[in-house]
Structure 1
Amino acid sequence: MHTMWKGSISFGLVNIPIKLHTATEDKDIKLRTLHNKCHAPIKYEKICSVCEEEVKPEDIVKAYEYTKGKFVVLDHEELEKLHKENEEKAVEIIDFVKIEEIDPIYFDRSYYMSPNESGGKAYSLLRKALQESQKVGLAKIIIRSKEQLAIIRVYENTLVMETIHYPDEVRRAGDVPNVPAEDKVTGKELDTAILLIDQLTSKFEPEKYTDEYRTALLELIESKRSGKETVSPATKEPAASNVTDLMAALQASIDRTKPGKTSAAAVPKKKTAVAPRKKAAAAKVKKEA
């Protein structure tokens, strides 16, 4: 499993060297965008909205748009000073809480934690302590220059870190439009709804659930591929060239550089190869004449 971060867990005076591994993966099927005319992939270029010219990476700067059309430019050096990438990488546990107190809306991404060299015993100690106390560690970590909140918990005998949103990153539920303020339901309706919920209640078994759309899309792609219902980009016509044989051109270049050979200016030029279409056009004109 790929290691995407190395550092340590710290709480109090305890320090546990660990590695992070992404616990989930995006299995969305990526569809390319093609030109319908020739089935070639579409390229996306960075074009300046004023100069209308392609901008190179070294000519791009970061900026914050504080009002429409007005920006504060931030230099690379200024941003580097703010980044904490060069500081000691640590998952600093600042509190221990009950996981029931954290609403799922705060959860973001999951990472497996494995002990680094010499960290096995301390890793096991923290895992056991979390299990016995039925608590999770609330921590701070810096990943890709962003400081994030996270919790550390036990999942199938492995420590897992779940990054969570800061409170100001979660939008207010009260701002959601058209939500009824009061429950306008009858007792009979409520009893019927609860009965239906009871009948549909079962044990959570993740294996039962599949992405039906992804499965159907993969089947469609495979059926088209198997039936040879595929397309390829149209190839560009080769540009007219005076050189018809690459190896001959290379050899001629080598021969010209040998001592005692005639200078390049004295070497007779190779006749330009006539493209098949031009030959046909010339023949037609001659015939008509």
Structure 2
Amino acid sequence: MRAIWKGAVSFGLVNVPVRLYSATENHDVSFRQVHREDGGRIKYKRTCSVDGAEVAYDDIAKGYETEDGQMVVLTDEDLADLPISTSREIAVDKFVPIDQIDPMYYDKCYYLEPDKAAVKPYVLLREALTQADRVALVTVSLRTRMTVAVLRVRDDVITLQTLLWPDEVRQPDFGVLKEAGDEVKPAEQAMAQMLVDSLAGDYEPDEYEDDYEAAVKALVKAKVEGGEVKAAPEEADTGGEVVDLLAALQQSVNRAKESRGEATDDAKPAKKAPAKKAAAKKAPAKKTAKKKAS
């Protein structure tokens, strides 16, 4: 694993230098859009929805769309005035019971690894969390934004799990449930409870498998072994945006010359001149052939 962030956990007067690692990874099966004929990847251009012109990276800005559909363009100067935090501190605010935090608020999870010189205070914090059966409520700055998170222990490792803001959790409002009332009969409720008791058990993650991912991998493997692979030609290194910009400038120059009736760079016959000279040199050979025939 590769550390994505370095900082320190601070609680009281104790400071624990740590490194942050992503605790999870996404194994969702993803497909690429390709050309059916040769397997080449499909590319998309950055075009403006107003005039249809292709837009260079330097001309792309950030825009915020309001609720009524209006677009507000934000400049670099506007963004520079926003409250951005670059703190490298994971500050413990308080220790709270874990059952006070609804699992709905949990977001991304990370592992915390201590520096070699900070193993002792790391273990001290870990054991304190375990014995108190609480989690540490902290604030941390990730990607220049301050967020709230919790520190908890998993497999003798302290994990940091970010929390969603309260307004990011939607509130359900289903009228059909309110209209249902007391339609469930006691006998039906008792039977449902018997069903729950008959299927009671413990959660074992290894009992479940992503059969879709396994099926896709088996399908791909079978096609590879059967030779059903389209080797798309390697794309030439065009230098990225610079070449696109040069091509756009060249087209603009050609259009300007065409409007003035001048020859464009694409119509220059300079490369065909040597071919005409070669043809002129072959003329004496034909005369010599006539003399030999007489």
Per the shorter chain, which TM-score range?
0.7 to 0.9
Q: Distance in 1 between matches of 2:23 and 2:93?
A: 23
**TM-score normalised according to structure 1 size:** 0.76
Q: Distance in 1 between matches of 2:136 and 2:41?
A: 47
Structure 1 residues 183 and 110: alpha-carbon distance in aligned structure 2, compared to 1, 3 A threshold:
farther
Does 2:46 match 1:49? no
Does 2:176 match 1:178? yes
Residue 200 of structure 1 aligns with which residue?
199
Does 2:11 match 1:11? yes
Q: Distance in 1 between matches of 2:103 and 2:231?
A: 45
Structure 1 residues 26 and 235: alpha-carbon distance in aligned structure 2, compared to 1, 3 A threshold:
closer
State the percentage of identical aligned residues: 36
Query: What SS does the aligned partner of 1:52 have?
Result: coil
Q: Which amino acid aligns with 2:47?
A: I
Q: Which amino acid aligns with 2:128?
A: A
Question: Contact conserved, 1:150 with 1:163, CA < 8 A, in 2?
Answer: yes
Structure 1 residues 161 and 43: alpha-carbon distance in aligned structure 2, compared to 1, 3 A threshold:
same
Instruction: Point out where structure 1 has 5 or more consecutive residues left out of the alignment.
Output: 237-267, 273-289
More displaced 10-residue stretch of structure 1: 180-189 or 119-128: 180-189
Residue 62 of structure 2 aligns with which residue?
62
Q: Give the RMSD, CA atoms, in angstroms.
A: 2.5
Q: Distance in 1 between matches of 2:14 and 2:122?
A: 10
Query: What SS does the aligned partner of 1:225 have?
Result: helix
Structure 1 residues 69 and 105: alpha-carbon distance in aligned structure 2, compared to 1, 3 A threshold:
closer
Q: Which amino acid aligns with 1:202?
A: G
Q: Which amino acid aligns with 1:217?
A: V
**How far off its partner does 1:68 sit?**
4.0
Question: Contact conserved, 1:39 with 1:234, CA < 8 A, in 2?
Answer: no
Structure 1 residues 198 and 270: alpha-carbon distance in aligned structure 2, compared to 1, 3 A threshold:
farther
Question: Contact conserved, 2:38 with 2:230, CA < 8 A, in 1?
Answer: no
**How far off its partner does 1:39 sit?**
3.2
**How far off its partner does 1:158 sit?**
0.2
Structure 1 residues 77 and 11: alpha-carbon distance in aligned structure 2, compared to 1, 3 A threshold:
farther
User: Residues 207-246 of structure 1 correspond to what in structure 2 (within 5 A)?
Assistant: 207-233=206-232
**How far off its partner does 1:225 sit?**
1.7
Q: Distance in 2 between matches of 1:184 and 1:115?
A: 56
**How far off its partner does 1:2 sit?**
0.8
Residue 249 of structure 2 aligns with which residue?
none
**How far off its partner does 1:41 sit?**
1.3
Q: Distance in 2 between matches of 1:34 and 1:182?
A: 53
Greater share of residues in helix: 2
Structure 1 residues 203 and 211: alpha-carbon distance in aligned structure 2, compared to 1, 3 A threshold:
same
User: Residues 28-47 of structure 1 correspond to what in structure 2 (within 5 A)?
Assistant: 28-47=28-47
Question: Contact conserved, 1:9 with 1:18, CA < 8 A, in 2?
Answer: yes
**How far off its partner does 1:127 sit?**
0.3
Query: What SS does the aligned partner of 1:127 have?
Result: helix
**How far off its partner does 1:143 sit?**
1.0
**How far off its partner does 1:73 sit?**
2.3
More displaced 10-residue stretch of structure 1: 124-133 or 226-235: 226-235
Q: Distance in 2 between matches of 1:5 and 1:183?
A: 53
Q: Distance in 2 between matches of 1:16 and 1:183?
A: 55
Residue 283 of structure 1 aligns with which residue?
none
Question: Contact conserved, 1:4 with 1:20, CA < 8 A, in 2?
Answer: yes
Q: Distance in 2 between matches of 1:105 and 1:23?
A: 18
Instruction: Point out where structure 2 has 5 or more consecutive residues left out of the alignment.
Output: 236-271, 277-294
Q: What are the superposed Cα offsets for residues 258-286 of structure 1, whole Å, 9 maximum, x if unpaired?
A: xxxxxxxxxx96549xxxxxxxxxxxxxx
Q: Distance in 2 between matches of 1:65 and 1:162?
A: 30
Question: Contact conserved, 1:92 with 1:139, CA < 8 A, in 2?
Answer: yes
How many residue pairs end up in the alignment?
240
Q: Which amino acid aligns with 2:129?
A: L
**How far off its partner does 1:183 sit?**
4.6
Does 2:20 match 1:23? no
Question: Contact conserved, 2:87 with 2:141, CA < 8 A, in 1?
Answer: no
Q: What are the superposed Cα offsets for residues 125-159 of structure 1, whole Å, 9 maximum, x if unpaired?
A: 11011011111001111111222211100000000
Q: What are the superposed Cα offsets for residues 222-266 of structure 1, whole Å, 9 maximum, x if unpaired?
A: 122222223344799xxxxxxxxxxxxxxxxxxxxxxxxxxxxxx
**TM-score normalised according to structure 2 size:** 0.74
**How far off its partner does 1:52 sit?**
1.2
Residue 119 of structure 1 aligns with which residue?
118
Question: Contact conserved, 1:17 with 1:117, CA < 8 A, in 2?
Answer: no
Structure 1 residues 58 and 178: alpha-carbon distance in aligned structure 2, compared to 1, 3 A threshold:
farther
